[in-house]
Structure formats: structure tokens, C-alpha cells
Amino acid sequence: VICDDYVSPSSVEEALAILASLQGEGRIIGGGTDLIIQLLRKERSALTLVDVSRIPGLDDIRAEGAQVVIGAAATHSQIALSPTIQKHVPLLAEAVSWIGSPQIRNVGTLAGNVVNAQPAADGAIALLALDAEAEIANLTGRQWVPVGKLCVSPGVSRVDATSEMITAFRVNAASAREGFAYERRARRRVLALPLINVAARVWVDSDGSRMRDVRLAAGPVALVPFRAVQTEAVLRGQPISSNLIEEALATLLTEAKPRSSLLRASKEYRRELLAELSRRALTRAIDVARGTGT
Ligand SMILES: Cc1cc2nc3c(=O)[nH]c(=O)nc-3n(C[C@H](O)[C@H](O)[C@H](O)COP(=O)(O)OP(=O)(O)OC[C@H]3O[C@@H](n4cnc5c(N)ncnc54)[C@H](O)[C@@H]3O)c2cc1C
């Protein structure tokens, strides 16, 4: 037995009221692809699971002006296959397509991916590069918070799923002269932990020669999903050249810290992989921004 009770509220307000009445002994569950395993291993405990995956409308994906809003219960499959996401946020569609297997993507949610707080979480890495915000609802109200502020350390999120929940994410829709790429390598192509994953997003100026702005996020190269701000500073505003990218990669290898891991690979190999995948991601994103790539 992994819990005493399971409830399926039909609104966010009802879910929050149930959590409040359980005084820390209830916990939100989405697809359960992380949480059920953690309950079975006794890494977490909860007397009552509060399932938010059936709340009507919580899986909506919609364009709102220049932004796209993704409901917290949207599964990775819904996101990857959504025409709105494919058109306006292709980086996210690409990243979540890598998660697990079809079975995992059919039930696993973006909110679960973020609150599970793993430094290599594919959804979280993409959301970082997208400057995404999460709407957090609790008894005091609702608040938008940058996703980059949510992960504290491996497995620890600022979102306390025993008393509050993520209801939605919002990201800016891709604009003209903006390009994206997601690169990921694992020991095998599917259903495997990433050795390194990288999300790149670049903006080029009107003739495509200068990098107006850039975001680069990577995992697992720190205790939390990592945004390479020093590397971005090297690239920002500069004329694009292979020398510039090499200079940026040298900075990346000073600020990102891949570790040796029995599950993943040696630090030396993962540093080389980080540089190569970042080189590919930046190059591909630049091509897309210039309108010469796919
Ligand atoms: C075989 C397998 C392969 C996997 N492969 C990958 C992979 O390649 N890449 C990857 O990134 N992940 C992978 N995962 C991990 C997992 O599938 C994802 O992290 C998934 O997105 C978790 O979402 P979920 O809805 O199942 O979360 P759950 O297990 O339901 O919940 C995870 C955590 O989030 C909390 N939570 C869930 N929803 C909310 C909410 N709306 N508000 C607040 N808190 C919430 C829960 O309380 C819990 O602490 C894999 C898992 C398995 C079992």
C-alpha cells in the first residue's frame, strides 16, 4: 500500500481545499510517472493523493496574444502533438518528444516534470531557455513565477505540492528571426537518461549577421536545470562566426560542471559532449533564425 486514499477533485479550488484539510498529509499527483515510483521506494510519503489530471480545462493549450498558455495537466504527448505548440513553441515540442516512451508521454505532465526538480528534466530545460513562467495557486491566490526560480536542489522544488499547485505555464510565442534547437544524447536513443541535454534559442538581426540575443540551458551539469548566463553574455550582440561560438563554448565549460556518474558517463566525456551538443544546438538555432534551417 503506497497511500490510504485517492481523490479526484473537479476544480483547482477544490484541490487546494482538500490539500488544506489534509494539513500536509496529501500530495498532488499528475501522471504519477515520478511520484508512484517514489512512493513505492518510500522516498516520499502521502496519505492521500490528490489527482489533478482530470480537472476540466487544466490540460488546455492556447495562444493568448503573443503568448502561449499550457495547462498544468497537459501531457507531453498533448504538447508534442499540439498544432499551437508546433507552430509557436517548436522548442518545447522537440524537447518533450524525447521524454521516456509513448506510455510515459501519454500520462506524464509538464508540471510534474518541473516539480520533480531534476537537473536533467527535458521539459524544465526547454522551459528555462523559453523564459517560461509557472502560475502557482495556493489559498492566498495565484502568482506567475519564472520556472528558473522553482528548482532548489535535486528533488526539491519551491512549489510545495502538499499545499499548492502549478495550474499553467506561459511562454512567448516565437517571433521573426528567432531560432531554436534541442540536442540530447543518451546511452540509447529512447527510454534512457540524458547524458547531456541542451536547449538553445537565438535571435538574429535583420541581415542575420549578428546575434541579437540568446538563451542557452543545459542539463545535468549543475544541481538544478542550468542556464548558461555567462556563455550567453559572450554571444549577445556579437557578429556571428565560428570563432565566436568556440569562445562561448570555452566559457560554457568553465560555468557548467558535468560530473562523473556511473549511470551517465565520465566527467571528461560529458564535458566534450556538452561542448559538441551546444555547438550543434547554437548552429542549428542560428540557421533557423536566419530562415536557412529547419
Ligand atoms: C520509464 C521512465 C522514463 C522517463 N524518462 C524521462 C525523460 O526522458 N526525461 C524526463 O525529463 N523525465 C523522464 N521521466 C520522468 C517523468 O516521466 C517526468 O518527469 C514527468 O513529466 C513527470 O510528470 P507526472 O505528471 O507523471 O508527475 P507526477 O509523478 O504525478 O508528479 C511528480 C511531482 O510533481 C508534483 N506535481 C505533479 N503535478 C503537479 C502540479 N500540477 N502542481 C504541483 N505539483 C505537481 C507531484 O506531487 C510530484 O512531487 C521518466 C519516468 C519514467 C518512469
Distance in Å, CA 284 to ligand 1 centroid: 29
Best of 11, 29, 188 to mutate for ligand 1, by most ligand atoms within 8 A of CB? 29
Atom of ligand 1 nearest to the CA of 33: 26
* pLDDT, averaged in runs of 10, over the chain (294 residues): 93 98 97 97 95 98 97 98 97 97 97 98 98 97 98 98 98 96 91 92 97 97 97 98 98 95 88 98 97 79
Taking the centre of ligand 1 as the mean of its atom positions, its distance from the CA of residue 87, in whole angstroms, is: 25
- The atom number, within ligand 1, closest to the CA of 122 reads 11
CA of 33 to the centre of ligand 1 (A): 5
Burial of 255 (C-beta count, 10 Å sphere; 0-12/13-18/19+): middle
Q: How far is CA 269 from CA 59, 61, 132, 224, 277, in A?
A: 39, 39, 30, 20, 12
CB atoms within 10 A of CB 78: 20
Residue given cell 538555432 in the structure block? 285
Q: What is the pLDDT of residue 264?
A: 80
Write the residue with the smallest CA distance to atom 47 of ligand 1: 28
Structure confidence at residue 272 (pLDDT): 97
Instruction: Kindly give the distance from the C-alpha atom of residue 108 to the centroid of ligand 1, in angstroms, as a whole number.
Output: 6
- Residue-level pLDDT at 193: 86
Q: How far is the CA of 31 from the centre of ligand 1 (A)?
A: 7
What residues does ligand 1 touch, defined as CB less than 6 Å away? 27-35, 52, 72, 98-100, 104, 108-109, 111-113, 115-116, 121-123, 159, 161, 165-166, 191
What does pTM read for this prediction?
Answer: 0.97
Residues in the chain: 294
